[in-house]
Amino acid sequence: MSVEEMGKVSDRLLRLLALCTILFLGVLAISPIKDFRREWKQYKRSYVKYAQTRPDTKKLLADYRPDIDQIWIPGMNVVDRCTTCHQGITQASLTGAAVPQPYRAHPPVPHNVRDWGCAICHRGQGAATEVAEAHESTLAWEQPILPTRFIQSSCGTCHYANLSQTPQLTRGRELLAELNCQGCHRLRGIERPAMLGPDLTSVGTKVRREWIYKWLKEPRTIVDKDGNAVVNGYETEEEPRMPKFRLDETQLRALSAYLSVQRAHPVTSHKFDSRVVAAWSKNPELVSQGELRFKQMFCSTCHSLAVTRAGETKLIGGGIGPELTKVGSKVNPDWLAAWLRDPQGYLPHTRMSRYGWPDEDLYKVTQYITTKLTDSDLLANVPQLGAPTDQEIDLGKRLFQEKGCGSCHSIAGLNPQKDFGPDLSALGAKNASELEFGKAAIPHNLVSYIQAKLQDPLSVNPRARMPQYNWNQADLDAITTALLSMKGAPSTSALQNLVVPQKDTSFRPPGSFGEVYERYKCYTCHKFNGFGGDLAPDLTYEGSRAQRQWIVEFLKNPQTLRPTLVLRMPQFNMSDKDAATLADYMSLALQHPDANAASVDTKEFTPARAALGKQLYEVKYQCQACHTIGGTGGYVGPNLNNAGNWLTPAWIEAWLRNPQALVPDTIEPRRQFTDEEIKSLTAYLLTLRAGIKPQKSAAAHSPAPASNSAQGVGR
């Protein structure tokens, strides 16, 4: 090769080298350019640009750093980089829909976002630095961000105790307990009660085989395609407690046969006093008198009846016990009389009280129920079933176990079934890949799965044993929220320390009080130490609040204290001894430490003070805005007509000092009364005395629909 040739070659080579160099430099530049164009860096830069358009730029950029922001809480497995893009999250001036995301401030919540990070409540992938990876589910991360309407479930992960700020979660937990989900599933924080559905040991003495057949085929409550729930043909807002099982004709025949032969404890027909029967059996007033007594006893506090008003038929009454419009065509009359005399003899764990019925009342009411609350067409669509055969009974017994009936209903001699359905106490932490979606055309994530399964169990698994429930959207979302909150045992000790446990609420007093309390089932409606129903006032501190003599008289003859409420406390026909037992115990044991009777000197309540108190009541503080005295005043608080006989001086003083210390949820605001004002107001209230008159108009009142479903009812 000559020199010239070499020169020529090197010339070509040089050009090639130059090209390679440019290419090489170009390739070298790729990495920095890629880095520069990273998604999170773009958000960082545009935040700076955005902040510069705002008047408070300096404040917005005070803690700005150009690199990744990270919240790291090692004990809780939190690695949270969300604030890398969501930079304005704690800037108060960036509130409102006008601020573009991701820079908008978080609304004020009880936990500081900068301390806790975002993923702990919103889920998603905290460590991700790309929008899609952080928010949506990927192969590597199966928990996408939680839709905001279920966000209360995250509160429930640590707050086992109910919070007032999370009504949807509380509603969901109530629904889980109310619908007996704990019969088949293990659920966190919801214990199995002594009785879920009624005990069926002697159901054959109560109802006929045909009725059982009809009930199993279509439980009383029917929901049409528009979501309107109908009980016995009447519209209602009650949740059906008995779900619908998908049973075919053979199964219906077999189960009804098996149940109709359950007669462990035969009923003995009650012999009514012959004088009562003689006096009333031919009396044309019998049924209307029975109806009157039914109303006077306030049966409608717990049971509903169809009532037609202005051409519209509606179910009116409480939802604690079953609806009774057609009960006369359902139950055996002998069973009915035995049940009314002693409900706890048939169902030991029933919520119904034992009333002290005089024979005359019992006769009138049973006659009313068996002649008036009937429907001759109730069993019209049921085929003639005849006597049950041994084959049907055997099959029925097997089906009773296979279908999971035994999870809610017990039959003496059959082993109770536990954990029939899957354990759901860690459902909220499940990944999508752990769930069975079958052929359901739904997005593969946990929320969609839970909702599809609840709405139609067969949609995700054609062989599901779970029965069919009917939900409205609000209840479906509430129950989904409650299920999402159950994420199993906390995975670290730091998380364990965060848990706010449920208060242990049980109130099973011993002795003679306990016996009377159980007989009248006071806790069906009243709360004691957080245990019991919420239909009626909380009685935890009743002994501090009410004078003993007033309690006795009230128990003997209940009347309402609240102008807006229709009286719902039944007439128990309580004996003097029972009333005294209850009042004695309450006065001694149901005491609040702040209402100290020993610190009150009744000599301080002088007429001069009472006169001053009247002025304070009427002019300075205008208490009549909410309270009634002698027929004038507001409807919000209880009437004070008889405050002097009703309330104890110690309670009035403690109440005026701080109502919320005595009853945390009470709506009466705490005022800044001076000690002298408190003494004067107490003196005035103690002068208000009215004789207790029997509530004559009670029967004329129509039963009020249960208002406990209304939100935020302060009592």
Query: According to the binding rule CB under 8 A, does residue 489 interact with other proteins?
Result: no
Identify which range of 403-411, 492-500, 527-535, 562-570 contacts other proteins by CB under 8 A.
562-570
Question: 203 to 262, contacts with other proteins by CB under 8 A?
Answer: none
Q: Which residue's CB is nearer to other proteins, number 373 or number 447?
A: 447
Write out the DSSP string of 60-82. HTTT--SS---EEEGGGTEEE-G
> Nearest approach, Cβ of 448 to other proteins (angstroms)?
14
3-state secondary structure 30-54: HHHHHHHCCHHHHHHHHHHHHHHCC
Q: Which residue's CB is nearer to other proteins, number 266 or number 714?
A: 714
Q: Is 274 exposed, middle or buried (0-12, 13-18, 19+ CB in 10 A)?
A: exposed
- Please give the Cα distance from 321 to 301 (Å, whole number): 9
Q: Is 27 exposed, middle or buried (0-12, 13-18, 19+ CB in 10 A)?
A: exposed
Q: Which residue's CB is nearer to other proteins, number 2 or number 101?
A: 101
Q: Which residue's CB is nearer to other proteins, number 170 or number 366?
A: 170
Site of tokens 């009743």: 542
Q: Which residue's CB is nearer to other proteins, number 131 or number 412?
A: 131
Identify which range of 140-148, 287-295, 303-311, 679-687 contacts other proteins by CB under 8 A.
140-148
Could you say which of 145, 222, 414, 692 contacts other proteins (CB under 8 A)? 145
Query: According to the binding rule CB under 8 A, does residue 112 interact with other proteins?
Result: no
Cα 209 from chain centroid? Answer: 34
Q: How far is CA 412 from CA 144, 217, 581, 599, in A?
A: 48, 24, 34, 56
Query: According to the binding rule CB under 8 A, does residue 533 interact with other proteins?
Result: no
Which one, of 543, 547, 571, 568, lies nearest residue 557 by Cα? 571
What is the identity of the amino acid at 356?
G
Question: 640 to 699, contacts with other proteins by CB under 8 A?
Answer: 660, 665, 667, 669-672
> Nearest approach, Cβ of 524 to other proteins (angstroms)?
20
Query: According to the binding rule CB under 8 A, does residue 282 interact with other proteins?
Result: no
- Please give the Cα distance from 20 to 16 (Å, whole number): 6
Could you say which of 27, 310, 387, 700 contacts other proteins (CB under 8 A)? 27
Could you tell me the two tokens for 455? 């709405």
> Nearest approach, Cβ of 41 to other proteins (angstroms)?
9
- Are 571 and 698 within 8 A, CB to CB? no
Dihedral (Cα; 331, 332, 338, 342), 10-degree rounding: -20
Cα 311 from chain centroid? Answer: 33
Could you say which of 9, 13, 17, 131 contacts other proteins (CB under 8 A)? 131
Q: Which residue's CB is nearer to other proteins, number 402 or number 665?
A: 665
Return the H-helix or E-strand segment holding 280.
helix 274-280
Question: 385 to 414, contacts with other proteins by CB under 8 A?
Answer: none
Q: Which residue's CB is nearer to other proteins, number 132 or number 588?
A: 132
Cα 508 from chain centroid? Answer: 22
Q: Which residue's CB is nearer to other proteins, number 37 or number 603?
A: 37
Does residue 102 have a cis peptide bond before it, meaning omega lies within 30 degrees of 0?
yes
Identify which range of 163-171, 483-491, 503-511, 522-530 contacts other proteins by CB under 8 A.
163-171
Site of tokens 């949506």: 136
Helix (H, G, I), strand (E, B) or coil at 713: coil
- Please give the Cα distance from 637 to 47 (Å, whole number): 53
> Nearest approach, Cβ of 688 to other proteins (angstroms)?
19
Query: According to the binding rule CB under 8 A, does residue 268 interact with other proteins?
Result: no
Identify which range of 28-36, 216-224, 356-364, 574-582 contacts other proteins by CB under 8 A.
28-36
- Please give the Cα distance from 522 to 445 (Å, whole number): 45
Query: According to the binding rule CB under 8 A, does residue 33 interact with other proteins?
Result: yes
Query: According to the binding rule CB under 8 A, does residue 425 interact with other proteins?
Result: no
> Nearest approach, Cβ of 57 to other proteins (angstroms)?
17
- Are 530 and 503 within 8 A, CB to CB? yes
Could you say which of 268, 602, 697, 711 contacts other proteins (CB under 8 A)? 711
Q: Give φ, ψ of 546 to 5 degrees.
A: -105, 150
The site that binds other proteins (CB under 8 A) totals a number of residues, namely 62
| Contacts with other proteins, residue ranges (CB under 8 A) | 16, 20, 23, 26-27, 30, 33-34, 37, 39, 42-43, 85, 96, 100-102, 107-109, 130-132, 135-136, 145-149, 151, 164-165, 167-168, 562, 564-565, 619-622, 625-626, 633-636, 660, 665, 667, 669-672, 704, 707, 710-714
